[in-house]
Amino acid sequence: MPRVSNPVLPGFHPDPSILRVGDEYYIANSTFEWYPGVEISRSRDLITWETVPSPLSTKKLLDMEGCLPSCGIWAPCLSWSDGLFWLIYTNVRSWNSGVWKDTPNYLTTAPSIEGPWSDPVYLNSSGFDPSLFHDDDGTKWLVNMEWDYRQRGKKQFSGIVLQKYSPARKKLTGPVKKIFPGSHIALVEGPHLYKRNGWYYILAAEGGTWLEHAATVARSRKIDGPYEIHPHNPLISSYGHHELTLQKAGHASWCDTPDGRTYLAFLCGRPIPGTQTCPLGRETSIVEIEWHDDWPYVKHEDGGHLTSDGIARNYPYDSFDPPIQPTEYREMGRCPPATHSITYTFDSDTIHPDFKNLRTARDPAVYSLKARPGFLRLRGGQSPISYFGQTLLARRQTDFAFKAEAKMEYSPDYFQQLAGLTWRYDERNQYLLAVTHDEKKGRIMNVLTFIAGVFERGEDVVVPDDGPLWLGLTVNTRFGRFRYSVDGKNWVELRPELDAGVLSDEHDSLGFTGAFVGMFCVDTERYAKSADFEYFSYTVL
């Protein structure tokens, strides 16, 4: 039987919340400062996934203007009950600037995964990673990790708290109870509640979202505990085995198929070979779960199950048997990861959902498909280090080796106007191929680098004052190079060589996203000069 290679959602797709409704599966992922908020993917076979419109696409549902890198949307939870999709999410306002974390949690619902989504209901702010559980008696319960600013280190993750939610009153009601302190792994977060055969299960992330990451399971006959930890905990982890392709295995959720099989979606990371840096970010993979003595175990490729901590940590998790075998996969030995080459054109009414911008809803006057039919017009915004009003449209890097290209028409007349390609992690760590203006040389381009916040400007390259420019980026796993062409055929490679490892959670400071590649436009003189893009392409190498 053909197996499916992991990850199924490559590139920046962290903190998966998996759900089945009827014969369709959904995965909701964190988006942090990227907009619109919460990535939702849909599948009928757990193999091929399509992006559906992100639910948090209006300011009334989400406004992150000014939020710092890796704030914003953390660990959403998607569930289904009473004919509605229920989406719980955190809009983190501060998290790494002292002993406090500001983590307001919200709820929105919709009759369809495409919406419309209701006005947000504020729930609490006692911690992050909230999750809603619908019990079979009709009651609804919110769980989230609790943040204790009085403690230090791992003890700040003080446990999982439970409180009842009233849909009629649209508020949390009754007492708050701490039901699970976590295991010896510590740093308990990302909780989900499930019920099976009269048991309540807590599935939680532990170990921090780095190499020590893990998913812990505990169970109880009562929803408020006490909870007994799995005898062979953790359920999943790759800690201690640097040879494995998928590192950081942890933060997970599960769902059942119509025929009763169980599948676990979990977070993982793929380091650049020979390093511990993951520019693709934290990705989503899937494995099958088997049940023994009412405990879940990851299913072995040979049909066995994991029976000890040591074996669990050594299992590669690199593929799984899907619940459905579509005709087009039956002759394949193993299905490839869900990545592909694509050329984006701008002759439709909407921007492709692969593209994200930063922090707030797109102003159609800034991101326009109508100003010049057949082109994307970007109006210049704030600088590349601003947390307000940047004009930037980018997609995830999903492959270690790829090339990106764009055709741009742009006539700057002032040095504070620049546009071109961006390859970025955040405001402190990014590379720009920038077309701009010099008072003596006319239209020029530079490679601009920001590494750990240190800015460097490459040598000026003079280009013709008129006519389109073709801009490119080629990345071969560890390094990348910008290039350009004045005719779309003959290309010139530019210095310097760019280190891909800079664009990762591990490089500069604690962060949670991944590398993106796309288009930008800056005008710090008057926010008016525009750049027109005819196409943008992403090609897997």
Residue-range domain boundaries for the chain: 3-335, 342-540
**Contact 4/324 with Cβ under 8 angstroms?**
no
15 is catalytic: yes
- SS3 call for 501: helix
Q: Which CATH number fits domain 3-335: 3.40.50.2300, 3.40.50.11540, 3.30.70.380, 2.115.10.20?
A: 2.115.10.20
CA torsion sign for 458, 460, 465, 466 is: negative
Q: What b/e readout covers 152-179, taking b as 16+ CB neighbours within 10 angstroms? A: eeeebbbbbbbbbbeeeeeebeeeeeeb
Asked if domains 3-335 and 342-540 share a fold, the reply is: no
User: 33, 129, 146, 189: which is the annotated catalytic residue?
Assistant: 189
Q: Are 167 and 132 in contact (CB under 8 A)?
A: no
The whole-angstrom separation of Cα 353 and Cα 529 is 25
| CA nearest neighbour of 450 among 385, 497, 392 | 385
Q: How far from chain centre, in Å, is Cα 32?
A: 7
Q: How many angstroms separate the CA atoms of 356 and 13, rounded? A: 13
> Would you say 248 and 267 are in contact if contact means Cβ atoms under 8 Å apart?
yes
* pTM of the complete model: 0.95
CA-to-CA separations, 389 to 66, 258, 361, 432, in angstroms, rounded: 9, 46, 10, 17
User: What is d(CA 71, CA 67) in angstroms, rounded to the nearest whole number?
Assistant: 6
Q: Which residue has tokens 């994991």?
A: 306
Tokens of 500: 């891909």
Whether the Cβ atoms of residue 262 and residue 248 lie closer than 8 Å to each other: no
Q: What is the C-alpha separation between 180 and 141, in angstroms, rounded?
A: 15
Q: What is the residue-wise DSSP string for 304-316?
A: -B--SHHHHHH--
* Start-to-end C-alpha separation, the chain: 28
Give SS3 for 273.
Answer: coil
Q: Which of 15, 33, 506, 523 is catalytic?
A: 15
pLDDT of res. 326: 56
Q: Alpha carbon of 135 to those of 19, 25, 226, 318, 351: distances in Å?
A: 15, 20, 18, 33, 39
Measured CA to CA, the distance from residue 393 to residue 535 in angstroms comes to 12
**Tokens read off for 115:** 């919406």
| Non-local CB neighbours of 157 within 8 Å, separated by 6+ positions | 145, 146, 147, 148, 182, 186, 187, 188, 189
pLDDT tens sequence for the chain (541 residues): 578 899 999 999 999 999 999 999 999 999 999 999 999 999 999 999 999 999 999 999 999 999 999 999 999 999 999 999 999 999 999 998 899 999 999 999 999 999 999 999 999 999 999 999 999 999 999 999 999 999 999 999 999 999 999 999 999 999 999 999 999 999 999 999 999 999 999 999 999 999 999 999 999 999 999 999 999 999 999 998 888 899 999 999 999 999 999 999 999 999 999 999 999 999 999 999 999 999 999 997 655 544 444 444 446 789 999 997 654 444 444 444 557 899 999 999 999 999 999 999 999 999 999 999 999 999 999 999 999 999 999 999 999 999 999 999 999 999 999 999 999 999 999 999 999 999 999 999 999 999 999 999 999 999 999 999 999 999 999 999 999 999 999 999 999 999 999 999 999 878 999 999 999 999 999 999 999 999 999 999 9
Contact 187, 207 (CB under 8 A): yes
Cβ neighbour number for residue 474 with a 10 Å cutoff: 18
CB hemisphere CA count around 525 (13 angstroms): 12
Residue 483 and residue 491 in contact, taking contact as beta carbons nearer than 8 Å: yes
Task: Report the 10 Å Cβ neighbour count for 184.
Answer: 8
DSSP-derived letter for residue 336 is P
Any long-range contacts for 490-499 (C-beta under 8 Å, 24+ apart)?
A: 492/461, 494/433, 494/445, 494/447, 494/458, 494/461, 495/447, 495/458, 495/459, 496/447, 496/449, 496/458, 498/423, 498/431, 498/447, 498/449, 499/451
CA-closest candidate to residue 74, choices 220, 258, 330, 282: 282
User: Looking at the domain that runs over 342-540, which CATH code has it been given?
Assistant: 2.60.120.200
Neighbours of 291 (CB within 10 A): 14
Peptide bond into 226 cis (omega under 30): yes
State the pLDDT at residue 337: 52
Query: What pLDDT does 74 receive?
Result: 98
Helix (H/G/I), strand (E/B), else coil: 240: coil
